Every structure is written in C-alpha cells, then in structure tokens.
Amino acid sequence: MSKNLVIVESPAKAKTIEKYLGKDFTVLSSVGHIRSIAKKTKTGQPPIDIANNFATTYEIDSDKRKTISELKKAVKTADQVWLATDEDREGEAIAWHLCEVLGLDPTQTKRIVFHEITKPAIEAAIKNPRTVDMQLVQAQQARQILDRLVGFELSPVVWQKVPGGKSAGRVQSPAVRLLVEREREIEAFEGKSTYRVTAEFLHQSDTVKAELNQRFDSEAAATTFLESIADATFRVSDVSTSPGTRNPGAPFTTSTLQQEANSKLGFGARATMSSAQKLYQAGKITYMRTDSVNLSKQALAATADYINSHYGQEYSQVRNFKTKSASAQEAHEAIRPTDISVEKGSSNDYDQKLYDLIRRRTLASQMSAAKLEKTTVTIAISTAEQVFEAKGEVIIFDGFLKVYGGGTKDPDILPKLSTDDELTRQIIGARQTFARPPARYTEGSLVKKLEELGIGRPSTYATIINTIQDREYAVKGEGEGTPRDVIALTLEDSEVSREIVQEKTGSDRGKLVPTSIGRMISDFLNEHFEPIVDYGFTANVEEDFDKIATGALARNVMLERFYAPFHKLIEQSGGIDRAKVAQATPVGTDPKTGKMIYARFGRFGPMLQRGETSDDEKPDFAPMPAGARLETVTLDQALKAFELPRIVGTTEDGQTIKANIGRFGPYIQVDKLYVSIKPLDPHVISEAEARELYTAKLKADAEKNIADFGDGIKVLNGRFGPYITDGKKNVKIPKDTDPKTIDHATAKQMIADAPAAKKRPVRRRTKKSSK
C-alpha cells in the first residue's frame, strides 16, 4: 500500500485521480454513502432521539460492509489519509461518516476538494488541504433528520387515511401541489376564440406575409371585414427599422442545465444528472451540482483565447455573471468543460450530446451579442382603417449565435420595400384561434419553478422529479391531444368561402400530469398538513439549512422549531375521517339498473362503483377507462366500462373466452388461463384475434414446460436455460444433457442431491450514536 491513501466517492473518479497523483498515492472509493439513519436500535431508543437533542443512530449500509472492510485495511497501512469526497454537503457528510467508521479524527484528517478532475486542480487541492467542515455536515444532517422524521411520521398517516397513498415527503409534496394546481387551472380555463386575419402579398416576384393589426371576436365580424376589402388595393404606408441586440445566457447551473437539456435534447432530470456525473468523473466537466454562474479567471482566459483564435476578436467579450441566488457559493463554478478546446467529451452519444451543450453554452457566455435589424412594414388598405403589418428580422452580426441558439426558426426575411409601393393581393384569410390555457410543467420547467420558489437545491432537483413519478403521483403524458373543429375563412376573388378544419389541442406528450392519487394526496396534505405543502414554509426550511451551513443557525434549534408544530399536527390526525378523504364522486345513473355510478379510489387505484355499499345487494365494480380520471369520467365512459367482462366467443375446443380489464391492463380469460391482449381493446377484440393470442400463449407455456411429473417436480425452460424444480429448489441441468431425456426418477434424484437453499445469515449491524 502507498504512503498516501485518497478516498473518493466513485470508482470511476478514483481511476481518473490516481493517474494524476502517481505511485505514492493509492485512490480507493466508498462507492457513495456508507451509512444511513438506523431503522431501529439495540437499546430500544428511537434512531432519532428527539428528547436527547435529536441524537441520531447510524448503521452501515448492508451492501457497503465489504467496502468498509477494504478501506479499514488500507487505512491501517497508510501514513496519510486524504478524504476527497464531493465538495457539496452530501460529500462533506460522507467524509465525516468515513472518519467515524474508519476511526479517523475529523479535526486532524486531511480533507481536499476540487471543482474539476484535472491534474492542476488535484495538485492544488493536495497543497491546500483542510479538515472536515462540521457546519456543512450539520446542514446535511438537519436535512436528513428532518426528511426522516417527516417520512416516518407522516407516511403512516397517509397510508391509513388516503386510499392508495404511498408516502409524503417534505419537498416532493409541494412539487405535487404545483402540478395539481396547474392541472386545475387548465380544467377551469375557458378558452375564448378570436379570428386572426393573415395575408400574403406579391411585390414584383417576392412574397410578403403580413397580419392584420386587429382580431375579431366573431365569425360574422371577420366575414364582414373580408367582404369589405374584396375590391381594395394595398400599398406600403410606412417602413421602419430599428437595431436590436440579443445577449447570451450565463453558463449552466444544475437547474439551467436540467431545463435546457430537457428543452433542447429531451433529456429528463435523472438522465441529465447521470450523464453529467459520468462526464465529471472522467475529468471532462466541472462539478455538476452547483448554483453558481461564476467562471474562474483561468477558465475566462482560456475561453477568450479559444474564441479569439477560432472566431476572431470581434466575437470575444469577457463576461462576469453574478448569481442571483443568495445561497449560492461564488467560490464554486458554473458547469463548464475542463478544457474548452476539447470538442469530444465522450464516445457515448448520449453523454456527448450533453457535453456539446455544456461546451457551446460556455463558449456563448463569453461571446459578443448578436446584432439584429428589425423591420416593420405597414400596409394600408384602401377600403378599411385597419392595416396589415409585416415584420422581419435580419441578423447583421451573429455573435454568440454562431455557437448557441442559432438553430431556432428563422424569422421572415422581408424583401426591400419602400413607402407607396403597390402590393398585389394573393391570399387573405381569417382563422379561428383559441386562447391557450396555462402549459403543463415539463421536468425542466418544474425544476425552474422550484428554483424560483426556493424549494430544493442543486443536489435535490432530480430526486424530487424522480420521486413524484416513482410514487405514481405524476406521470409523463403520452397523449397527442384531441381533435378540435376550427373555422377557416378565405377571400377568393370577391367571395368569402368557409371551411371547417381540424387541429389537435391539449397534447400532454412529455408533460408531467398529476394522477388521481397525486391529487388526493395533495388535497389531503393541503387541508390537514398545510405547512408541508406551503411554498414559503418549504423555502424557509431550505434557507435554514443554508444558515446552518454557514454557522448562522444551530442545527438543533432549527430542528426543534420545525418538529414541535409538525408533530402536533400528527397527533391531531387520528380524527381525520378516511371516508371523507376519498369521497366517491357521482357520475350518473345507469339507465338499465337505476343504480348510481360513482368514481372512487380503491385499493389499486381509480375505479368505478355501481350501486351503494349500504344496499343489501353488493355493488359491482369496473376499472377506470383508459385516459379518464375521477374528476372527468363521463357517464357514457362509465357505462361502457360496465359492459365488461364481455363474452368474445369460444376456443376451437369450445371453451368460453371472456375479455376484461384488470390491474395490469386488458386481457382474455379461458377457464383459469389469463392472456394479456395489450394494446387491443377488450370491448372490440374479435373471436379470431382472441383465439390467435390464446393459441400463442398455450404454445409459449408448452415450450416452457418440458415435462411435468405430476407430484410438483417439473422440467422447465428458464431465462438461463433448462432446470428442474420441485417448487422449493431449482437445479440447473448440465449443458451436455438433453432435458427431454430426463425421467421422473432422475429428476427426483437430482433434486435430492442438490444442496438446500441457503438462508441468508442475520448480520448484526454496526451502529454509532452521534449528536
């Protein structure tokens, strides 16, 4: 073992750093966090002892025992240990946990941090070590303790009081509330329509596109206007030009990287951070969890040199961006390439796309503004007071657009026009346009909103987005929208023609849509645990963490201030009526039975109920139709759902085939055999289609079942080849043995000879108590 032992978080990072430090250094990895708050303690004391100043018992994660054992051996033979975990609060906490577990003194052990994994940065860190920053550790502990207390005390209330409720979190809950509020805004939106008049004129051989400076509230008004200009002449009454500039954005923070990667590349928050992590560990970009837009002096100089040599001095403009967030640490840097001249950051296409985005954004931030010339041409109508306006834009100097943002739709380029030029009418039309409701959040725009509200931090945005989807409180939409009739009027010669065309509206593809359980959870928390979903309260908690990190606030003072009122709400929750939380919504009366149909939430999600639970005759149930929600399902949709199960026909040997929808989607049933029919509709699947799927299922099962000896012993085909099983033990069949030749006696003997399945040993967990 080398004299110096460096401990980092990830194996990939360890490899990169070791090649820079040389033979006197050995670099090992903790593979992330090594300890968590215990679920229970030996003494029976709570893992978080609130009465004892929130003293917390930690335990080594079961999958890290081998790692810890290897690190302990390495520490014994090393003269000097360097803790080089990430530079944020999570990294600082890991460094402290390593001290605790490895028997290192946190006040003496050398701690090094760096923004990038490059030889100069690593060497500079080695020359300037510090010790573990306990204020940062306490800030991380406060977040972890608070989140554990909220999860452990609030989640059981959610399980008991909200049907289908899985958990409630301190930061995920306000995010779900944002989605629910936006969805209700969309549902309450009353789309008013107006008529937009556009025209195409001809000047010599050039086409000029223009729009009327007034919109009409009705079809009649639009028709009247078009008729009034049927014999009009058109001329240019004014041409005005004005210079304009467009400035580049700042280099990326974690938040803006997630937003832009989502917008430009279609990457989700989790995918973005995964790629960024790999690029950082490979030494290609600076640390990816940051809220700073600052660039180091060295980075500014290197970027300016690159721009001057590749694009020319006129493209270079050194810019020092200032971070708006009060909690941002200016000593940190924005996300940038470690070497701006390197165009290839990864051989992986996915990671390379993100690297290219980061590199171009960094370059653009240090480039000149784009210079534009905006032109507005006013076109007078001889028979009307209104005017048409044609607008265009010419890029005089592309500046930063040369590398970033120049790929958007080009504005209309106008031909050269002068006052009093006559224009010839080609096409004039009026089209009904509808006001748009507020847009649903994408992953990127939700991150932006959370950042604006002060909820979450760079290290938590992706986790928040993932959690609300993993808990099924929100889903990513896949709908392309629904058709809508639109009136289009066209002036042809002296007549106005009318046509009904269709356009799609309400697409939710790629957008975050709250589920029924997401709505119910949000409403429940809003009514009974308002502080948990209050945006201002959640933001204040984040600010308190920042204060703990700087020593401006004591950890336990902050925890007590939060916990006392929160726990009081938990104690009062016993009286909440579960029936009122999940009230059934009347949909309408079934005309055949006269029974009321309700939309309600059941054990496995939204469903329909026909009849009353208090009646002598039990109600019957049906799954919620695809695309419908508790709040929007119609009586027609509900009645169709109760048409199931449906008799489709019979198999070739006369067995009845039923079609239905279950927890896992549509299926057909023959006796006790169930066959998925996705993506077919159980209402319309034909007998021929059902027979084909049934036959295919029988064939697949037959191929899996090589032999069945009737006493529980079978020879089966599995994912990893053929094997024998008695339901308790599985025995792999050797490759040189034909499974079809194995008889009952042989199979029985092979099962008997196989060792018993090993029971996992119960391991005692190492626990350490710390305040």
The residue with tokens 């989502």 is 262
CA distance 19 to 26: 10
Token code pair at residue 462: 């992706």
User: What stretches of 653-721 show up as alpha helix (H) in DSSP?
Assistant: 687-704
130 DSSP β-pair partners: 111
Long-range pairs for 452-457: beta carbons < 8 A, 24 or more residues apart:
453/174, 453/535, 453/538, 453/539, 454/538, 454/539, 454/542, 454/543, 455/171, 455/174, 455/175, 455/535, 455/538, 455/539, 455/542, 456/171, 456/542, 457/291, 457/327, 457/542, 457/545
CA distance 573 to 770: 31
Q: Catalytic residue at 287?
A: yes
CB atoms within 10 A of CB 37: 17
Beta-carbon contacts of residue 767 (< 8 Å; ≥ 6 apart): 38, 41, 42, 57, 58, 59
User: 195, 280, 287, 315: which is the annotated catalytic residue?
Assistant: 287
CA distance 684 to 745: 49
Q: Give CA separation, 757 vs 44, 347, 728, in Å.
A: 33, 43, 8
CA distance 754 to 762: 23
Read out DSSP for 320-367? ------TT--TTS--B-BSSTT-----SSHHHHHHHHHHHHHHHHHTB
CA distance 587 to 578: 21
Are 488 and 532 a contacting pair, CB within 8 Å? no
Q: Give CA separation, 151 vs 159, 196, 471, in Å.
A: 11, 52, 13
User: What stretches of 576-727 show up as alpha helix (H) in DSSP?
Assistant: 578-581, 635-641, 687-704
Beta strands 495-505; 4-8: pairing state: unpaired
Which phi-psi region, left, alpha or beta, contains residue 447 (left: φ > 0; alpha: ψ -120 to 50)? alpha
Are 677 and 662 a contacting pair, CB within 8 Å? no
Beta strands 387-397; 585-589: pairing state: unpaired
CA distance 320 to 303: 13
Q: What is the dihedral of CA 535, 541, 546, 551, to 10 degrees?
A: 160
Beta-carbon contacts of residue 311 (< 8 Å; ≥ 6 apart): 367, 402
Residues catalogued as catalytic: 287
